Amino acid sequence: MKRFIAAERALRTAASHQLPDAVRRVLTEQYAAEAVEFLMADYSLSVLQPVSAPPRLSRPVSVYNSPAGRAFGSQRCHSEYGLDGRVRLHLPVTVRGDRIGVLSVTLPDRDHARRDEAELCEIADVLGREVLVAERDTDLYVQARRKDRLTLAAEMQWQLLPGRSCSRPEYDLAAQLEPAYAIFGDTYDWSATADRLMLYVTNGMDEGIEASLLTSLAVNALRNARRAGISIADQAALADQAVYGHYRGRCHLSALLFDFDLVTGRVSVVDAGSPQLLRLRGGSVERIVFDAQLPLGMFEETDYVAQEFRVEPGDRLVFVSDGVHAVASPLGEPYGDAALTRAIHSTRLLPAAEVPRSILRELTSHRDGAEPEDDALVVCLDWRGRPDGH
């Protein structure tokens, strides 16, 4: 325990840009580690990149077929055993369900690995929390997330997002956007309190920076209204006014807005456009259709009305933008509900955090590798609910 306290103190007192050096030094001194490497998942969730100041000397490793990638995907420690007796532990770095990367630690032998694995997992958790705090003061970790250069529009979009996944006893929630390095209009947002979860899925219009500016205005207007404590319908109305007030109807934004009651499973919904919802319940997938209302900012002073539906424990909700359900194959065939249903069935055994990435990979196959003409957004919510309504 003294070693863990020393490691935690070293991370909490390290300068923001020195966390990789601090964790390397303290694990070498306190746990006899022979090598320590911190890797972060890139924006496309395809590789894990070593965290170091540019230019990087170490190469990224694949999320799909590497030991570190297996730890990242399974969210469990993965061990590599060398012929010389050394053991390399790959430890997920995750904060409240948001998967950040992997901490790889080489130990002298199996005895060290068995004895220290549990504490090293806790240190990986501490490292993740400290990285989220440190990102306010340094670009080191944001730079480590990119294997290619981001467009300015994509830079703006990623800074707008709350994270890519989160977990609570009542639910698991995850999202992914593609093309990760050139997105511009689609986005999502979420926020939870003790008894409620607010979730927004938006589908912007226009391209490039103009699309990002529109989305930023709309999302921040929704956040401003949400933080004032008003209802989901009034949030939509105030965001509608903000967008119309600036663009006067030239641009608008499609959105699905949800207010989940974590105790009862009741949900208030405002459907203001093209994002769609499919539900997996008891092995069956069905599209959930709501009363369509006008997109945000299309006309002046639009009134919005919330409708209700209910989620049950075991439900999986998959939200998609039109860049998913409307995308065409080289032969002009739309992806559509049938392909989405197959994709949701084929990923039903995966955890929520893996579902968006897996569906987007199937979408790439549908396009036959062609460059996308629109953003593609997938959000997955696995609902457990609160036991006995407590």
C-alpha dist (Å) from residue 50 to 17, 164, 192, 378: 14, 20, 32, 27
- On whether the CB atoms of residues 163 and 98 are closer than 8 A, the answer is yes
For residue 175, which of 374, 357, 364 has the smallest C-alpha distance? 357
- On whether the CB atoms of residues 79 and 26 are closer than 8 A, the answer is no
* pLDDT value at residue 331: 61
- Going by C-beta distance under 8 Å and a sequence separation of 6 or more, which residues neighbour residue 213? 156
Measured CA to CA, the distance from residue 84 to residue 6 in angstroms comes to 29
pTM, two decimal places: 0.93
Side by side, the strands of the sheet bearing 187-192 are: 187-192, 196-203, 254-261, 266-272, 307-310
* pLDDT value at residue 368: 59
Instruction: Chunk the chain into consecutive blocks of 10 residues (it has 390) and report each block's average pLDDT, rounded to whole numbers.
Output: 93 97 97 96 95 76 95 96 95 96 97 96 98 96 93 93 95 95 91 97 87 95 97 97 95 96 97 93 95 95 95 97 78 76 94 94 71 83 84
* pLDDT value at residue 85: 94
* pLDDT value at residue 390: 56
* pLDDT value at residue 372: 61
The pair of three-digit structure tokens given for residue 168, joined into one six-digit string? 């609570």
Q: Is 337 exposed, middle or buried (0-12, 13-18, 19+ CB in 10 A)?
A: middle
DSSP three-state, residue 221: helix
* pLDDT value at residue 327: 74
DSSP state of 326: T
